[in-house]
Amino acid sequence: MSNAVETVGLGRRYGRHWALRECRLSIPEGRVVALVGPNGAGKTTLLNLVAGLIRPSAGSVLRFGEPVRDDPASLGRFAYLAQDSALYPGFRVADLLTFGRKLNPRWDDDLARDRLAQLGIPPRKRVRQLSGGQRAQCALVLASAKRPDLLLLDEPLASLDPLARHDVMALLMETVALHGTTVVLSSHIIADLVDTCDWLVAVNRGRIQVSGEIDELLAGHAVVSGPVDRRAHLPDRLPVVTESVNGRQVDLLTRATTDTFGPAWSVRPPSLDELVRGYLGAPDASALPGPVALAR
Least spacing, CB of residue 240 vs other proteins, in Å: 25
Q: How far is CA 32 from the centre of its chain?
A: 8
Amino acid identity, residue 239? P
Q: Is 110 a binder of other proteins (CB under 8 A)? A: no
Amino acid identity, residue 281? G
Collect all residues with Cβ–Cβ distance below 8 Å to 75 and sequence separation of at least 6: 52
**Of the two residues 46 and 282, which places its CB atom closer to other proteins in the complex?**
46
DSSP state of 249: E
Q: Which of 9, 40, 67, 72 binds other proteins (CB under 8 A)?
A: 72
Q: Is 91 a binder of other proteins (CB under 8 A)? A: yes
Contact region for other proteins (CB under 8 A) — 18-26, 166-174, 220-228, 236-244?
Answer: 166-174
Amino acid identity, residue 41? A
Q: Is 136 a binder of other proteins (CB under 8 A)? A: no
Number of residues binding to other proteins, judged by CB under 8 A: 50
Q: Which of 60, 123, 131, 166 binds other proteins (CB under 8 A)?
A: 166
7-66 residues in contact with other proteins (CB under 8 A) are: 32, 48, 51-55
CB environment 89-101: b (16+ within 10 A), e (fewer) = eebbbeebbeebe
Nearest CA to 79 out of 165, 36, 140 is that of: 140
Q: Is 195 a binder of other proteins (CB under 8 A)? A: yes
C-alpha pair distances (Å), 220 with each of 90, 213, 269? 51, 10, 8
Residues that bind other proteins (CB under 8 A): 32, 48, 51-55, 70-73, 75-76, 78-80, 82, 84, 86-89, 91, 95, 98-100, 102-106, 139, 142, 146, 166-167, 169-174, 176-178, 195-198
